[in-house]
Structure 1
Amino acid sequence: MPPLRTAFDALARLRDARAFHPKGARVDGELTTLDAGPWPLPAGSAQVAARLSKGAGVPDGFRDVLGLAVRVPLETGPWDLTFSTIGSLTRILPFPARGWCDASYSSLAPYRVGGQLRWLLARAARDQPKVDASLRAARRLVRGGGFELVLSSATAIGVPQPIARLRLHTVCDDAGQPTFDPMLNHPPGVTLYPDWLTKARELAYAGSRAGRA
């Protein structure tokens, strides 16, 4: 077994959970496409499953890399989008955030789509209340009127362009926890770049799945 897969397998076994983002809140929501451009998003609105998570799983009250995973239903099958909070200087490195509405979220790696490399970004809508980085606060935010985010497409240079709105409206603590996996669940022809990073992420996700099993 490759070393990277072995490491993620061991960490998942140790935690008895995902290697990273082990703690999360399962929620339901609605994705409304604004201007998809080259992205294969559903026309109009679609009901989605999502998960809000803490990357390292540190106790409440501490900053953490916050995660957002969304399963978008397409005719070709589910498309799992995963985002992590980032700092102000780069889209490719995860960075701890103070709260769910304070930071930008990024796919970290770009997608090869429409003949260009493009990142998917997300940020809380302007009118969202400020809450801390705990899962308790995330659930309260969703229950208190919904957690609304704007999804954008961004090239290496230029201004990000909004492509969809996401409203997370229902906490589903009693529902099963699906495994969001962007390496397994994606539309044909929409792949993460570069190839070596994609291979590394495939090994990491496979190790985490094996360790949980």
Structure 2
Amino acid sequence: MTAAASAGLGAAFRGVAALRAAKPLHPYGVLLRATVRRTAGGRWGAPWLDEAGEDRGAVRVSRSAGLPHPLPDVLGLALRVPGPDGPADLLLASCLAAGVPGRFVFAPRLDVAARCSSVMTYRTATGREVVLGVAPPAGGRRVPMDLATLPERLAADPLLLDLVVATPAGPWQPYGTLEVAGAAADEPDPALAYEPVRHPLPGLRMAGPLARVRSDAYTQARRGRGADEADLDREVPVRP
């Protein structure tokens, strides 16, 4: 069943990517500077969640369907930071609500300062299953999802989001912050290919058979748009 689903979804992603000559989902975005500050004290069983640290990288902000502003669209946040064995990726999308089942349902938004979820779950080294996400802090400001003006606006006033983690049905708990600032590179949207299965965060692995389906779909999407496989392992071209 998993093999059939993988083949079917992969073929669909490859076809859409070929027609668009771009990513089948989140085709256009902007790459922004990202600073992750993680606090110590967690007992999840993964260094990314339990150990204090600061990681500087980039986050690609995108619209899932590529609809123009000011129409609502599913917000995508693709974070890439340096990892111990190469780049580490985290893909998040705006979700319906904080609780269950809302955290597992994509939802269109008008605002970049939105609650987002990994939707798919991760497993830690100790076997715990978790969902990752970001949430706007209480009293935070609105940031319209206008990709054309976003780099300039966040260069002047960076956006701060809370990094949060939960068991699939449990309450969200903060483990750090994500600061999103201005443009990360000279190109607004440089060629980077994200792959959270191949590029896991420290101590975390995507859980369940759908991880393979997702990975295969991304591979076919890259082939469909003629992407260079080197884009997959490219380090984040962050401005000093």
Output the TM-score relative to the length of structure 1.
Answer: 0.90
Q: Is the 8 A contact 2:165 2:174 kept in 1?
A: yes
What displacement does 1:158 show?
Answer: 2.9
Which of these residues, 64, 72, 80, is aligned with residue 55 of structure 1? 64
Structure 1: segments with no counterpart, 5+ residues: none
**Partner deviation per Cα, 1:117-169 (whole Å, 9 max, x = no partner):** 10001012335321322213533442231111111110123321111211112
1:132 aligns with 2:144: yes
**What residue number does 1:6 align with?**
11
Percent identity at matched positions?
29
Match of 1:65, SS?
Answer: strand
Q: Which residue of 1 aligns with 2:20?
A: 15
Amino acid aligned to 2:194: F
CA root-mean-square deviation: 2.1
Q: Which amino acid aligns with 1:109?
A: M
User: Is structure 2 residue 158 aligned with structure 1 residue 151?
Assistant: no
**Larger displacement relative to structure 2 (86-95 or 19-28):** 86-95
- Is 1:169 matched with 2:181? yes
Q: CA deviation at 1:186?
A: 1.1
Q: Partner residue of 2:117? A: 106
Per the alignment, do residues 148 and 7 of structure 1 end up closer, same or farther by CA in structure 2, a change over 3 Å counting? same
1:76 Cα deviation after fit: 2.7
Match of 1:210 among 213, 223, 238: 223
What secondary structure does 1:135 align onto? coil
Task: Find the aligned partners of 1:160 and 1:181 in 2 and give their Cα distance.
Answer: 24
Aligned to 2:109: 97
Match in the other structure for 2:205: 191
CA distance in 1, matches of 2:88, 2:185: 22
**2: distance between equivalents of 1:117 and 1:141?**
37
Do 2:47 and 2:203's aligned partners in 1 also have CA atoms closer than 8 Å?
no
> Which residue is equivalent to 1:40?
47
Pick the aligned partner of 1:122 from 114, 123, 134: 134
Give distance in 2, aligned partners of 1:141 and 1:119.
30
* C-alpha spacing 1:139/1:205, structure 2 compared with 1 (3 Å): same
> Which string of whole-angstrom CA distances, capped at 9 and with x for unpartnered residues, describes residues 28-81 of structure 1?
121111135433227421211210010000111111000001112222322100
Amino acid at match of 1:21: H
Cα distance in 1, alignment partners of residues 201 and 54 from structure 2? 18
Give secondary structure in 2 for the equivalent of 1:30: strand
TM-score, L = length of structure 2: 0.80
Per the alignment, residue 180 of structure 1 pairs with: 194
Number of residue pairs matched by the alignment: 211
